[in-house]
């Protein structure tokens, strides 16, 4: 009976694991350009790789990070933090991991970008 309960628990866990919450990801890319013009609303940037599932966004296309947070002040602080991360990655030649949901925000290729610095 214990083995059956364990098997049912493991099966339930595996079936309840969510799928990817993003359309594509790139691991180990370099930030080539960081644009500060749109701060504090959002920050735009370019990477040195093409987006795999969106051929309309080749390497060098503009990606956008809109502010994340419950209110305007939080979103502005978030944009500033991401700008700092992107600028640091560019200046130090460190790579980043980029996770994107395809979309179009004010003419930019991607809507939401999640960045992990390596």
Please give the C-alpha separations between residue 90 and each of 16, 23, 71, 85, 86, in angstroms, as whole numbers. Answer: 38, 24, 29, 9, 6
**CA 2, CA 81: separation in Å to the nearest integer?**
49
Who's near 103: CB < 8 A, 6+ residues apart? 110, 111, 112
Residue 76 binned pLDDT confidence (cut-offs 50, 70, 90): very high
Average pLDDT, stretch 13-27? 58
The pLDDT, as a whole number, for residue 6 is 39
pTM above 0.85, yes or no: no
For range 7-18, the mean pLDDT: 40
Closest to 45 (Cα-Cα) out of 55, 56, 59: 59
Q: Could you tell me the pLDDT band of residue 63, with boundaries at 50, 70 and 90?
A: confident
Class for the domain spanning 21-117: mainly beta
């Amino acid at each position: 009976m214990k083995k059956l309960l364990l098997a049912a628990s493991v099966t339930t866990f595996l079936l309840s694991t969510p799928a990817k919450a993003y359309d594509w990801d790139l691991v180990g890319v370099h930030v080539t350009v960081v644009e500060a013009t749109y701060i504090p609303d959002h920050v735009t940037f370019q990477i040195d790789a093409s987006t795999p599932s969106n051929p309309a966004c080749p390497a060098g296309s503009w990606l956008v990070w809109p502010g994340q947070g419950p209110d305007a002040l939080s979103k502005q602080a978030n944009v500033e933090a991401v700008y700092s991360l992107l600028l640091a990655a560019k200046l130090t030649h460190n790579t980043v991991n980029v996770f994107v949901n395809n979309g179009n925000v004010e003419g930019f290729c991607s809507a939401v970008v999640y960045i992990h610095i390596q």
